[in-house]
Structure 1
């Protein structure tokens, strides 16, 4: 009989987080067969995202396998799965698309009611884990857990992609780069000739810059406290760089002055709710729009004076750039194959799986954009 119909438990290596901020430990884990409407994936490449760091540093559920920005090959499929078959190349996604719920069918949202952001460390279908060590459950992260040689995801949280696309590059499209491009194109819908200001020049912020450049923005101002990012940012479309630490005035006043009243669009890509107000204040009256993409580490509540909105400004949130993952991600992969968008430029380090803690160190030091972790 086919292994697709009767998959078995796989024992493989996984980087397990046993406690908040503790180094990941390479362990032998058991990975259960995929249940109905699930697939098991052999992970080829995964990259480290800032939200992995944020969750790892928090008092979240442990033990846990982090990682959500990944590419791989389908190893087996569960009952009822007809979209995938063994050998398909896929991207994982942390927020799925069931294509049946009100949100998915609306054409207005990518917030799937059935496969939205999973925070409890278990599978969507039965609220159990597919990982264990000596029978002890190991919890999932964002319904993906790609810091493992094999993982199990709901079929709605994976996207089939062209086998022509290099898996060690397109893994970036399963979160960070896609999130930034979508914020610029889908959420803000940046217009040609506009002025854009971006707070935070990590992968997401630079992806916003890339998207703004491709939309024909005339000025793209990058704001970051790391001066090393200023020069690199030019390759992604940043036309001016501002370091708030080198200004005698609040940065929003500087931006309003140099733009003659404020930017048309501002993007908060840091994960600091206080910066949302700063971003709003950096926009112009009448039509200024602020989009927030960052995941805050602390103080999740924000405050803003009502007059900022009374004078016409708009604040929008953005999850995964508004992309419907299964419907939209294949087109982004095609754009990369045609060299219409940049990916390689975000990859500052390639690291073997055994050295995964080095990736955490580099991101913690602010020394990288994306570390791509190669499983073999």
Structure 2
């Protein structure tokens, strides 16, 4: 492309500090260096994780920063040494990179590449520098991706080519929310036919978990949320029933045990990010074989106090990152499965807005009025 090798000036939503709205600015995006790829972002979703940064609940984030991590676009240019991508390829940036060489990538059950930025919040590329500047000031990266910009630069281990016919305003969700929830059910829990599941939190990730439970063959899927407006969507996607904690005086785990004849559920998914909900999910699992999967991101200072009896009785508590998918290996297949109608994620997109209305999209999220807002450039 004619911009190859040149600095690109483009619009980006910059977070200057926690607690403040994003600011649309014209930033400079440097060309990709060796083993890097510059992407023209076409569509990007607004995820709760982005809001966690803006609210200050994720610590050690380096401001100013360009957030965004759930996107699809096309390759604008490539750096030296990049061989598996070319300009014009349709791609998804990856919050879970896959270098293929580290011990985690080579482990058959591990998808957390040692080069991932999870929890580190370095805010820079592998060489310790950024590719974003604003009037000479350095702007930091987020989760290897930074998709709240018309152009972004990522490392080649953090981007994968997908079906060129895939609709970007839908499959961008595979970059985070859908894959995380769906994979928590399919890969982490390995939901079995005939099982009973409960999903705490019916946002984008929780609803994706419901889709995964349905695909896994669960016969009973209970959705839980304090926002009853989400119940209709949850049932459309596979929930067999939905309940609100506000309708009960008993603790939710007691309600669920009663609903299951005193047994408890086979699989519980915590998609809220609150320690009290995590405990409720664990306590709702049946003794002997129940599994609780924590997917939600709690605040940095959150802690859980547990009795060892919960585990001696045979329950399992585990977590799931990016749904357990090895990204470069699995994301193209997930996109192909969507194109083949093996699952339907269209219902997760409730709002589509122009990029300039990004702050409006965050307000919809905070007000509980959206599942996923997708921004179009």
Distance 1:298 1:238 in 2: 31
Q: Does 1:14 align with 2:15?
A: no
Per-residue CA deviations over 1:308-361 (Å, capped at 9, x if unaligned) read 101000011100000001000111101110111112111100000111110010
Q: How many residues align?
A: 373
Candidates 51, 55, 58, aligned match of 1:57: 55
Contact 2:38 2:76 in 1 (8 A): yes
Per-residue CA deviations over 1:52-71 (Å, capped at 9, x if unaligned) read 00011116321111100000
Tell me the SS of whatever aligns to 1:53.
helix
Q: C-alpha displacement at 1:300, in angstroms?
A: 2.8
Distance 2:309 2:301 in 1: 22
Distance 1:23 1:116 in 2: 24
Q: Find the counterpart in structure 2 of residue 300 from structure 1.
A: 302
Q: Find the counterpart in structure 2 of residue 110 from structure 1.
A: 111
Q: Find the counterpart in structure 1 of residue 33 from structure 2.
A: 35
Distance 1:148 1:361 in 2: 19
Contact 1:119 1:141 in 2 (8 A): no
Q: Find the counterpart in structure 2 of residue 136 from structure 1.
A: 137
Q: Find the counterpart in structure 2 of residue 339 from structure 1.
A: 341
Q: Find the counterpart in structure 2 of residue 195 from structure 1.
A: 196
Tell me the SS of whatever aligns to 2:228.
coil
Q: C-alpha displacement at 1:298, in angstroms?
A: 4.9
Which runs of at least 4 in structure 1 moved beyond 6 Å after TM superposition? none
Q: C-alpha displacement at 1:141, in angstroms?
A: 1.1
Per-residue CA deviations over 1:137-179 (Å, capped at 9, x if unaligned) read 0111111110100000011111100101111110000000011
Contact 1:273 1:299 in 2 (8 A): no
Q: Find the counterpart in structure 2 of residue 274 from structure 1.
A: 276
Q: C-alpha displacement at 1:214, in angstroms?
A: 1.2
Distance 2:241 2:313 in 1: 27
Gapped runs of 5+ residues in structure 2? none
Single out whichever of 120-129 and 167-176 deviates more from structure 2. Answer: 120-129
- How does the TM-score come out when normalised to structure 1? 0.97
Tell me the SS of whatever aligns to 1:228.
helix
Q: Structure 2 matches for 1:153-232, cutoff 5 A?
A: 153-232=154-233
Q: C-alpha displacement at 1:3, in angstroms?
A: 5.8
Contact 2:117 2:143 in 1 (8 A): no
Distance 1:118 1:29 in 2: 26
Q: Find the counterpart in structure 1 of residue 364 from structure 2.
A: 362
Single out whichever of 150-159 and 17-26 deviates more from structure 2. Answer: 17-26
Q: C-alpha displacement at 1:216, in angstroms?
A: 1.2
Q: Does 1:371 align with 2:373?
A: yes
Q: Does 1:235 align with 2:236?
A: yes
Distance 2:283 2:366 in 1: 29
Contact 1:3 1:76 in 2 (8 A): no
Candidates 35, 43, 46, aligned match of 2:44: 46
Per-residue CA deviations over 1:176-233 (Å, capped at 9, x if unaligned) read 0011111001100000000001110111111111111111101000111111111221
Contact 2:193 2:218 in 1 (8 A): yes
Contact 2:124 2:140 in 1 (8 A): no
Contact 1:119 1:142 in 2 (8 A): no
- How does the TM-score come out when normalised to structure 2? 0.96
Gapped runs of 5+ residues in structure 1? none
Distance 2:82 2:13 in 1: 28
Contact 1:209 1:220 in 2 (8 A): yes
Single out whichever of 299-308 and 149-158 deviates more from structure 2. Answer: 299-308
Q: C-alpha displacement at 1:118, in angstroms?
A: 6.3
